[in-house]
Structure 1
Amino acid sequence: MNIRKFHHQDTQEIMQLFYDTVHNINIRDYTLEQVEAWAPQDMDYQKWNEHLHSKMTYVAELDGKIVGFAQLEPNGHIDCFYCHKDFQGMGVGGKLLDTLQTQAEKLGITRLFAEVSITAKTFFKSRGFQILNQQTVERRGIKLINYRMDKNIG
């Protein structure tokens, strides 16, 4: 598995990975209405492309296929963090998180933090993150529960 920086031509594949993962994996912890609000079919390619370019976005690639992606912001915030629905529990998330943490340390960041889904909470806890609080967020008028979590790294 190779971890590399995002390239412009990755956008469509990342959008599909995001949609498929939310609809096939996160559906275990959220309702259909919630996953459709979170990952709608009519995603805007231009907005996604701009979002992916606006942060330090890394992709996990295996045999030429994107199997995960994650984003780090200069303040230590982890934005998107998704592993392909067919590659769950195979070390993709661990490698992506290690990459983000290494990059954060190079930048002098001492704390990583994220808003983590119910589905991803166990993974982040296993990697040393602590729950700060549960919160309710809104996507397209639909309420979802997630968790603010953080980890000191420096």
Structure 2
Amino acid sequence: MKLRIYEIADTEEIIKLFYDTVHEVNIHDYTEEQVAAWAPANMDIDFWIKGLASKFTYVAEEQGQIIGFGELELNGHIDRFYCHKDFQRKGVGKKILEQLESKAKTLGIEKLFTEASITAKPFFESQNFIIVKQQEVERRGQKFINFVMEKSFGNCKLLNSKQ
């Protein structure tokens, strides 16, 4: 598996990965109506290009196939973060998150935060994110439960300064 920066040519494959993951993985925690609203059949590629290109977006690839992606914003927000339906629980998410954390540290960001789905919550908990709150959000007329989660990794020297 290799990690690299997003390129515009990746967009269609990323959209398909997103659609397939939501419809085949997240469906275990959400209803048909919710996943249809979350990942509709006809997504606007220009909207995706603009979104992916406006953030620090990293792509995980194996043998030329995109198997995951994650986006980091300048304020520490992890926006879209998805692993291919056939590559769940194989370390892909962990590698992408490590890259996002490394980039955040380079930028001087001391806290990451995200809105994790019910499905993604255990993954983020396993990576030392804590739940700030459960919330209900609306997408295309459907209401969803997700979790605001965060992870701080500020300057560790401050914590050890009394030693």
The reply to whether TM is greater than 0.5 is yes
RMSD: 0.4
Partner of 1:98: 98
Alpha-carbon distance between aligned partners in 2 of 1:19 and 1:112, rounded to the nearest angstrom:
25
Alpha-carbon distance between aligned partners in 2 of 1:126 and 1:13, rounded to the nearest angstrom:
28
Give the secondary-structure state (helix, strand or coil) at the position aligned to 2:86: helix
Offset of residue 113 of structure 1: 0.2
**Offset from partner CA, 1:30-59 (integer Å, 9 cap, x none):** 000000000000111111111111111100
Partner of 2:7: 7
Partner of 1:149: 149
Percent of residue pairs bearing the same amino acid type: 59
Give the secondary-structure state (helix, strand or coil) at the position aligned to 1:109: coil
Alpha-carbon distance between aligned partners in 2 of 1:54 and 1:137, rounded to the nearest angstrom:
23
Give the secondary-structure state (helix, strand or coil) at the position aligned to 2:34: helix
Offset of residue 141 of structure 1: 0.9
Alpha-carbon distance between aligned partners in 2 of 1:37 and 1:48, rounded to the nearest angstrom:
16
* Structure 1 unaligned blocks of 5 or more: none
Give the secondary-structure state (helix, strand or coil) at the position aligned to 1:3: strand
Partner of 2:56: 56
Partner of 1:19: 19
Offset of residue 10 of structure 1: 0.1
Give the secondary-structure state (helix, strand or coil) at the position aligned to 1:89: coil
Report the count of equivalent residues. 154
Alignment of 1:3-152 (within 5 A): 3-152=3-152
Give the residue type in structure 1 aligned to 2:78: I
Alpha-carbon distance between aligned partners in 2 of 1:127 and 1:58, rounded to the nearest angstrom:
18
Offset of residue 153 of structure 1: 1.2
Alpha-carbon distance between aligned partners in 1 of 2:61 and 2:42, rounded to the nearest angstrom:
25
Give the secondary-structure state (helix, strand or coil) at the position aligned to 1:119: coil
Offset of residue 3 of structure 1: 0.6
Offset of residue 74 of structure 1: 0.6
Give the secondary-structure state (helix, strand or coil) at the position aligned to 2:68: strand
Alpha-carbon distance between aligned partners in 1 of 2:53 and 2:140, rounded to the nearest angstrom:
23
Alpha-carbon distance between aligned partners in 2 of 1:145 and 1:104, rounded to the nearest angstrom:
27
**Offset from partner CA, 1:102-136 (integer Å, 9 cap, x none):** 00000100000000000000000000000000000
Q: TM-score, normalised by structure 1?
A: 0.99
Offset of residue 70 of structure 1: 0.2
Give the residue type in structure 2 aligned to 1:21: T
Alpha-carbon distance between aligned partners in 1 of 2:88 and 2:67, rounded to the nearest angstrom:
9
Alpha-carbon distance between aligned partners in 2 of 1:99 and 1:55, rounded to the nearest angstrom:
14
